[in-house]
Structure formats: structure tokens, C-alpha cells
Amino acid sequence: MKKIILSIEILLSIAALTGCDSNQGGMDYEVTCALTGKQQHDSATLLVLEQDYNQLRVCASQRSHDGTFTFAGQTDGSKVALIRWDNDSTQPFYFVLEAGKIAITIADGSWTITGSPGNSEYLHYINQRNDIMNARVATWQEYLKMAADSSLKREDEQRMVRQDSLLNDSLQRITVERINRGDAVGRIIGERYGSTLDQDHMRQLH
């Protein structure tokens, strides 16, 4: 799969491209992103993926003293978007840019997003993924506990191996299914989690 997020060098080279035009004949959007806790930055840049060219377009940059950034403009449909912070080493925040008001809150180790059907689907996948990952961690912790107190039997180990394998297969399947839809949510999931697929599931990608 093609990577949708470009390197910092390429981003800098396209920073001069025309920003998101508020008069491009699309539908109005307003994105508000609030940072809380230790997640503090002085500036943020909104970038949108232009799928036809597989390039990121800089829409707007903004500075803030209270950790709240608001971007407004127009879009002609659902698009992959990200917010890049003043510190380029910080992971950018991916989301789906759609018409309407989108509210993002980023706290220490967590985030929420409301106001968009596409982002609701994205959040649904993230919650599914987290549930499966937590179940795998619980299985591993059970294994370590039983191994530590010498109560681990061969049948217990085999059971936990099967359980972990089933959980991993479920995670791989929901990831492939969501990527293969080919929409903005699928492209974000492909960018963020496509590399976690094994070779068998990778071959199932369209």
C-alpha cells in the first residue's frame, strides 16, 4: 500500500501549496482541537490528503496560548486529515475531515472525537482494537502469573496459545476488512496499522 503520510522533508517542500480554499464550492467544516494535561503545543497545522495526487496539502497553521486550535473551511467530501504540531517529533493526529463541526480532545494517553460519521467509525475500530489488545495482555499476564507460582501446566499453556492466536486473527481480520473498504477511515487505518498485518493477511488487501 502507498504511504499517505510523507516525510518531514517532503512536507516542508509542499508547505507552500495553496491552502484549503474556503470558497471551493464544498461544504463547511469547523474543527476544534483542545489539548489537555501534558499534551501542550504552541502551534498546530492542519493538512489534508489529496487522494488524486497522493499528496498532503497544508490548509492552515495556527498558534494558541491555551491549547485550543480551531480550523474552518470547506471540503468537497470526506478526506484523510491530520494535525501536525510544532514539535515534528510528536506523532500527528489522524482524523476524517468532513462537513460539520468536529470536536477533538487530546489528553494524556487518550483522545475523543465527536461530530462526524467517519470519525465515529474510526473510533469504533480503535475501540475494537483496544479491546482485543487488552485481552491479549490479560492472557500474557495470566501466563506470567502461573509461570511464576509454578502452577502452569502444559494444557494451560496450550489453551493460552490458542486464545492469543484467535485474538490476533480477529485483530488481523477486522483490520483487513476496514482497510479494504477504501474510504478515508480505511486509508487512515492502513497508514497506522497496515504494517502490523502478517504476510497472509497482507495478501488479502485489495
pLDDT surpassing 90 at residue 79: yes
Residue 88's pLDDT is 66
Name the DSSP class of 7: P
**54 vs 154, higher pLDDT:** 154
Rounded to two decimals, what is the model's pTM? 0.83
Q: Edge-to-edge, what's the strand order for the sheet holding 79-85?
A: 55-63, 43-50, 79-85, 93-97
Mean pLDDT, residues 122-130 taken together: 96
Question: Residue range 29-43: average pLDDT?
Answer: 90
Average pLDDT, the chain: 88
Domain ranges in the chain?
Answer: 8-115, 119-202
The stretch 66-95 carries a mean pLDDT of: 90
Q: What is the pLDDT of residue 38?
A: 78
Q: Quick one: fold of 8-115? A: Immunoglobulin-like (2.60.40)
How far apart, in whole angstroms, are the C-alpha atoms of residue 73 and residue 41?
22
Residue 192 CA to residue 3 CA, distance in Å, equals: 10
Order of all β-strands in the sheet with 68-75: 68-75, 27-35, 100-107, 110-114
Calculate what percentage of the chain has a pLDDT beyond 70: 86
Residue-level pLDDT at 54: 82
Choose between 2 and 111: higher pLDDT: 111
Q: What is the pLDDT of residue 21?
A: 53
- For 19-33, 107-121, 173-187, which range has the lowest pLDDT when averaged over its residues? 19-33
pLDDT at residue 12 greater than cutoff 70: no
Phi then psi for 148, rounded to 5 degrees?
-70, -35
Q: What is the pLDDT of residue 80?
A: 97
Burial class (CB in 10 A: 0-12, 13-18, 19+), 78: middle
Q: Higher confidence at residue 74 or residue 1? A: 74
Give the model's pLDDT for residue 4.
Answer: 47
Q: For residue range 95-112, list pLDDT tens digits in order.
A: 999 999 999 999 988 899
